[in-house]
Amino acid sequence: MLPERMRLCFVAYRGNMNCGGQGVYLWFLSRELARLGFEIDVFVGPPYPDPMPFAERVHRIANQEHWAKWFSRDYAGMLPEKNPLAAFKPLNLYELAASRMGFLPEPFAFSIRAFASISARLRAGQRWDLIHDVQCLGYGLLGLRAMGIPVVTTVHHPLTVDRRASLIRDTNFTEAVGSMQFYPIGMQSFVARRIDRVLTSSESSARQIAADFGVEPRKITNVWNGLDTQLYSPSQAVAKSDTTVLCVGRASDPNKGIRTLIEALGRTPEHITLTLVDNDHPGNEVFKWAREAGVADRLRVTGRLPIEELIHHYRTAALVAVPSRYEGFGLPAVEAMACGTPVAALRRGAVDEVIDDGVTGGIFDSLDELVQGLPTVLALDRSRVRSHAVRRFGPERMVAAPAEAYAALVTAPHRPRRTSLWARVRRAQACRDADSSQRRVDRRRLSRLRWTACHLRQRLRTDTWTRAHRACSTCT
């Protein structure tokens, strides 16, 4: 049984939906849990999420976004404009140095800041029944767990998958070394093995987490990602295109396979166009790849989109392509299916678990097969695509399994609940003080016993001498 009004604390080092699946997952899961009566607090780093009116409180954990500025080559912007000396604060300096050296510092730094913020509120009397981390897995989570609060995390796939994809893309030794040092895999695997539960979104991801992070399978729970199927839905007022292929993914992420998709676009009929939902900055390499493939005039890059515009693209596209090298779940595929748009994907990761081949889309072993199979995918019944998505990925699927995992942890008799780390320290100190006081009493008692024993020995010697003296004939 869950508490009547369970209090949850979400922590996420990036909260905006345009930053990837973790932002989408955080926003929709917390909203659905709030609808069920959960009390939600969110501690989140930049870029911050869209307004979350369903949350009790949203605490913004600020940072200088050093890594994002380093990635965009905005080196001057890495120093705070108003107070440059703030860069020399310990965590700020760490982030600045780590970013310049090619590390990803955000998960660690965010977890420490979140630990400081949450522990301060715990000392002030605020309480949560459980902490739910979204793909941070920083060392600060272990500090939160040491306070006696159950901690779970959601991992859509381990960072080892991203590192392998990056190594495939690398063209020289220097780039390979950069890929090896960039991802905080050691920290994340260390933390994942020590928190209470790891939630993931597919059996494929569960196996990958167990193999790469060394997490015991019994601590991993597969929770299907759900979706607001009322928001992501078809519209009769929108005309479907017969020629537009839509892809949602970052070209900067080699795992998404955008470059190979653009190369494959050159092997499709000339009336086929590709719309890519990605950063439209002129420095995005996707434009160079399109020129090299001779399809620059058939590529449109939208830039970051609000949800309403993204849904409009899902509704109008002929199909959605998922060319990823690995998918832990494939949220764009589910979003597209909920809008009645079929999906063409490569057979990677959890794709087989999400897409019903021949019903909601097509699954192919190579991009050449995908190109050849486009007519088959385009001919699928869109109403069946939609009904399948509603049945398997409705919002109730999003909250059912996490709620069960919460209940198992919060009601577990062996887990201390709402016990402050500081209270435990004070209790241990009190025990030590009591032991010390008892030792002083024992020393006094021992001293008295020693004095008594010495006195008795002296009396015994005196009595023995007196008896001997009285028995002496000379003395008498």
pLDDT at 16: 85
Question: 410: closest CA among 131, 29, 44?
Answer: 131
Does the pLDDT value for residue 336 go beyond 90? yes
| Whole-prediction pTM | 0.78
The number of angstroms, rounded, from the C-alpha of 428 to the middle of its chain's C-alpha atoms is 33
What would the pLDDT profile of 78-102 be if each residue is shown by its tens digit? 666 677 777 778 888 888 888 878 7
pLDDT at residue 473, rounded to an integer: 45
What pLDDT is attached to residue 413? 63
pLDDT mean across residues, the chain: 84
Amino acid occupying residue 302: T
Q: Is the dihedral of CA 336, 342, 347, 353 positive or negative?
A: positive
Beta pairing, strands 244-248 & 273-277? parallel
Do 341 and 320 contact (CB within 8 A), yes or no? yes
Q: Cα separation of 34 and 7, whole Å?
A: 10
Please compute the mean of the pLDDT values over residues 254-270 and round it to a whole number: 91
Domains of the chain in sequence order: 7-226+397-422 (3.40.50.2000), 244-393 (3.40.50.2000)
56 has pLDDT over 70: yes
Instruction: State mean pLDDT over 364-392.
Output: 91
Mean pLDDT to the nearest integer, 384-413: 86
Residue by residue, DSSP assigns 417-449 as -S--HHHHHHHHHHHHHHHHHHHHHHHHHHHHH
What pLDDT, on the 0 to 100 scale, is given for residue 322? 93
Q: From the CB of residue 253, how many other CB atoms can be counted at a distance below 10 Å?
A: 17
CA dihedral 250, 254, 260, 261 (to 10 degrees): -20
Beta bridge partners of 134: 12, 154
Instruction: Give CA–CA dist 266/293, Å, rounded.
Output: 6
Q: Which residue has the higher pLDDT, 47 or 343?
A: 343
pLDDT of residue 61: 94
- Give the residue, 376 or 100, on which the prediction is more confident: 376
Q: What is the pLDDT of residues 122-171, one digit of tens each?
A: 999 999 999 999 999 999 999 999 988 999 999 988 999 888 888 877 88
**What's the token pair of residue 451?**
């004095």
Interval 409-425 mean pLDDT? 59
In this structure, the dihedral spanned by the alpha carbons of residues 393, 399, 402 and 405, taken in order and rounded to 10 degrees, is: -120
d(CA 336, CA 326): 18
Distances (CA, A) of 264 to 165, 261, 268, 293, 372: 19, 5, 7, 9, 10
Identify the CA nearest to 265 among candidates 288, 245, 238, 240.
245
Q: Are 222 and 210 in contact (CB under 8 A)?
A: no
98 vs 458, more confident: 98
Residues 136 and 13 sit within 8 Å (Cβ to Cβ): yes
The confidence score (pLDDT) of residue 465 equals: 45
